[in-house]
Amino acid sequence: MTTDLWCLIFLSIGAYLITSRIIPRFRDVFIRANLFGIDLCKSTGAEVPEAVGVFVWMCISGMHVLIYTSKLVEYITALLGVTCILLLGFADDVLDVPWRVKLLLPAIAALPMLLVYYATFDITFVVVPKPLRPFVGQSIDLGWLYYVYMMMVVVFSTNAINILAGINGLECGQTVVIALSVLSYNCFEIYMGEVPSHAHYFSVHLLLPFIGTSAALLRYNWYPAQVFVGDTYCYFSGMLFATIGILGHFSKTLLLFFIPQVINFVYSVPQIFHFVPCPRHRLPRYNKLTNNIEMSTVRFKQKDLKFLGRASISILESMGLLAVQRNVGENREYTECNNFTLVNLILKLFGPMHERSTTIIILLIQILCSCAAFAIRYPLARLFYDV
């Protein structure tokens, strides 16, 4: 290992220690500034400081000023992207913007990063899988469509973390698992040394301090949470992953580490696109008597549903993936089903359980999916690409 990397490891441990000390000191400051949320899965109704993820950014940018790098353009591009999203995420935590606007924020924040990409790299070709090569050649140039693809990667990865949320330790925990998985992938590629590895070194430089600071944040966000990470952190970490994947030209591999988030997104589609009503909060319901959390539900008039809403409910119900109760409520004209999130699905499949156990199960699923991602990336990808 180079001296550079050793410095980085020491600085990242420093980042962990500094963030661990800063967070408790600023808890009251956040509450005084009205930056807090109520922990909805507790009976105490305690005010928990929100948007604390902002410290992760402060520590990381501080570390990066100290880290020497020869890849200055990539660094500036990455920091520009995450700084933009950080500001927008913080504005969201303070102003609580409507959900449709939330989806757009990452697209706006991606623009400066994409402009720098255009001016500096402008690489828009993709390698074609082996079976298709006789028809279209080794690679195809996607041109402006590649920019649309990159924007979609940013919008997906930022929102994907933010909507797999609502129980203590989940937003931060999944981020740490994804970051460690990407880091392992980078180290493996550097170790194999078959392709130029500067993109992977670049990723390691960004990920190590991020993991250090996120681990500190997770300590305080773990059950029972003393702080909430806020949309600031969810957007920020999603943008960091997207930037690393885009600038390192491994965005397809990156998406493999988001399998639970993809499942959560696909499962959420009926509510996100309003085929089925979507309440402000879809997090599980707390049961005071058992101290467990249960599926949260949404209730609506059966006749108000359009075709797509009815179809998605019937399909998911027939697959055993949705708990539906028909003819309930006033005049028995209402239908009730669980909210369409992975957290609720886990609670449907395994039954009500403690909040901490639910987080642990989802994080274990995330780890298993990362192992599956490695299996897909290496043995299976060899069938389609020269890797």
Q: Which residues bind ligand UD1 (CB under 6 A)?
A: 37-41, 50, 162-163, 165-168, 225, 228, 231, 281-283
51 binds, among ligand UD1, Mg ion, none (CB under 5 to 8 A by kind): none
Estimate the share of the chain in helix, then strand, then coil, as percent rounded to the nearest 5.
65, 10, 25
Strand 292-294 with 285-287, pairing: antiparallel
Q: In Å, what is the CA distance from 351 to each residue of 1, 145, 186, 229? A: 47, 44, 38, 27
39 binds, among Mg ion, ligand UD1, none (CB under 5 to 8 A by kind): ligand UD1
373: CB partners within 8 A, 6+ apart: 181, 253, 256, 257, 259
Write out the two tokens for 187. Answer: 């180290």
* Minimal distance, residue 52 CB to Mg ion, in Å: 13
* Minimal distance, residue 170 CB to ligand UD1, in Å: 7
Q: Which is nearer to ligand UD1, 40 or 361 (CB)?
A: 40
* Minimal distance, residue 345 CB to ligand UD1, in Å: 13
H or E element, residue 172? helix 170-192
Distance between CA atoms of residues 298 and 131, nearest Å: 46
Query: How is the beta sheet containing 324-328 ordered, strand by strand?
Result: 297-301, 334-338, 324-328
Pick the binder of Mg ion from 39, 74, 93, 231 (CB under 5 A): 231
DSSP string for residues in 78-141: HHHHHHHHHHHHHHHHHH---HHHHHHHHHHHHHHHHHHHHHHT---EEEPPGGGHHHH-SEEE
366 touching Mg ion, by CB under 5 A: no
Q: Which is nearer to ligand UD1, 166 or 209 (CB)?
A: 166
Fill in the DSSP letter of residue 353.
Answer: B
- Compute the C-alpha angle 159/161/166, nearest 5°: 110
Q: Which is nearer to ligand UD1, 197 or 264 (CB)?
A: 264
Q: Which is nearer to ligand UD1, 51 or 254 (CB)?
A: 51
Q: Which is nearer to Mg ion, 162 or 213 (CB)?
A: 162
Pick the binder of Mg ion from 19, 158, 162, 221 (CB under 5 A): 162
* Minimal distance, residue 114 CB to Mg ion, in Å: 24
74 binds, among ligand UD1, Mg ion, none (CB under 5 to 8 A by kind): none
Q: Which is nearer to Mg ion, 162 or 253 (CB)?
A: 162
* Minimal distance, residue 47 CB to ligand UD1, in Å: 9
Residues making contact with Mg ion (CB under 5 A): 162, 231
